[in-house]
Amino acid sequence: MEVNQILHMNKGDGENGYAQNSQVQGKILSVAKPIIHEAVLEIMSSNNIERMGIADLGCSSGPNTLLPISYIMDAIHAKRSSLGLQLSPSSTTEFRVYLNDLFSNDFNAICMSLPAFYNNLKQEKGPEFGSVFVSAVPGSFHGRLFPAKTLHFVHSSCSIHWLSRVPPALSNTPAETAGSALNKGKIYISKTSPQCVLDAYSLQFHVDFSSFLKSRAEEVVGGGRMVLSLLGRPSSDPTTRESCDQWELLAHALMTLVSEGLIEEEKVDAFNIPYYAPCAEELKLEVQKEGSFVMDRVEAFEIDRDAGGGESDDMVASGQRVAKSIRVVAESMLESHFGKDIMDHLFRKYAELLGDHLSKFRTKYINLFTVILRYPRQVSRDILCLSNPRLGGGVTFVSINHSGAFYGSAP
């Protein structure tokens, strides 16, 4: 599977489009808003910036695409207002905003939304706010995307858990897989997966995240910051229900189609989702190993799988909503491997399985939020950790439900 050429969110405003089924991503962004706000204020407090480079990596195309940029502009405007700054248009900062995603993303739809974005910005912030230049940058964030030392702030939400490729040890054709499948009947890590499958996924994530950090180390200026959020897991165990359930049930739905004679079992055995849900410690270790950044904070939030369901107890409807939310992100890969004809039937089965599952387990997604600081030179990690007590403790866990947030911590 050529992930960089295939993976994209479902396009359009239809029933199975990302625009109508991105409530979970919207909820995650709303949780990230104060984290983004704080990181932007820290950049402004420590830098006198004339031209500020801002990148959103894995921006997708839908109602959430421009939200992070709006949050950043809100933070800058609030900071200036609090200081009573009266700036003329000629003295304000230029903002160079780069929206990145893979080549198959619907950048045309994003461009169509920009006039309204510019108009709202001018009305809310005034003409003296400064010039905002938005550009599309297609390509993989696992490699270089921008000139050296041009970015002050990098944001990425719900993207870094996608791998650049299926782990090589698992990327076989159906013919090669026949009789020798390593992860038989599964499409991701599960309780029954052999250790070599867990190791293959872990290794690929570490290769990819290391490449991500090395690329950003070239592009982000000293003192710049990254706010990254991605789906993860609550512990070192990669087979937790929070990180695996959605793929376990999708594999079950695929095997149901095998039993109905609609697809071949070898096709299921040869399909592996290019995804990995890390724990916070894996992120910390990779940041430390790369050496150009220091992790300022990391928090884990619980997010309802059915972000659009309110407090409803209708698990059938909930299963349908969650199935659609997975369909919009995974269908491009499934269709490339299994063909288009089975998609509707597959996701009907999947919705039924999800509804039954949610009636028994109210499992939530675990989303990891981290703020990472770029240092201008190699500095002792021991000194950095001593200077920032937040780095020495455990991960903060926050549970988000429909009525608010409940805070707790884990060692």
Alpha-carbon gap, residue 322 to 305, rounded angstroms: 6
User: According to DSSP H, which parts of 178-219 are helical?
Assistant: 195-219
Q: Give the pLDDT of the chain (411 residues) as one tens digit per residue.
A: 688 888 988 888 888 889 889 999 999 999 999 999 999 999 988 767 889 999 999 999 999 999 999 999 999 988 877 766 554 444 567 999 999 999 999 999 999 999 999 999 999 988 778 889 999 999 999 999 999 999 999 999 999 999 999 999 897 655 555 446 789 999 999 999 999 999 999 999 999 999 999 999 999 999 999 999 999 999 999 999 999 999 999 999 999 999 999 999 999 999 999 999 999 999 999 999 999 999 999 999 999 998 776 666 788 999 999 999 999 999 999 999 999 999 999 999 999 999 999 999 888 999 999 999 998 754 444 434 433 444 444 555 444 343 333 333 333
- pLDDT of 64 reads 95
| Count: domains in the chain | 1
b/e sequence 313-340, b meaning 16+ C-beta within 10 Å:
eebeebbbbbbbbbbbbbbbbbbbbbee
The pLDDT of residue 194: 94
Res 228: pLDDT: 98
* Structural domain range at position 387: 3-410
At 165 the three-state DSSP class reads: coil
Q: Contacts for 378-385 with beta carbons within 8 Å, 24 or more apart? A: 378/291, 378/292, 379/294, 381/288, 381/291, 381/294, 384/294
- CA 243 vs CA 127, 268, 275, 276, 386: distances in Å: 46, 20, 10, 8, 32
H/E run at residue 57: strand 51-57
Distance between CA atoms of 177 and 265, rounded to whole angstroms?
10
Strand (E) or helix (H) holding 257? helix 241-259
Partners of 407 in beta bridges: 398
The answer to whether the beta carbons of residues 274 and 3 sit under 8 Å apart is yes
248: Cα within 13 Å, side-chain hemisphere: 15
CA distance 18 to 101: 15
pLDDT of residue 14: 85
A 10 A CB-CB count for 23 gives: 18
- The span from the CA of 225 to the CA of 375, in Å, is 9
Cα first-last separation, the chain: 39
The alpha carbon torsion through 4, 149, 40, 284 (nearest 10 deg) reads 60
Please name the residues in contact with 411: beta carbons below 8 A apart, sequence gap of 6 or more.
394
Where do the DSSP E strands lie in 102-238? 132-138, 151-157, 220-232
Q: Tell me, what CATH number does 84's domain have?
A: 3.40.50.150
Q: Which residues pair with 52 in a beta bridge?
A: 95
The 10 Å Cβ neighbour count of residue 132 is 21
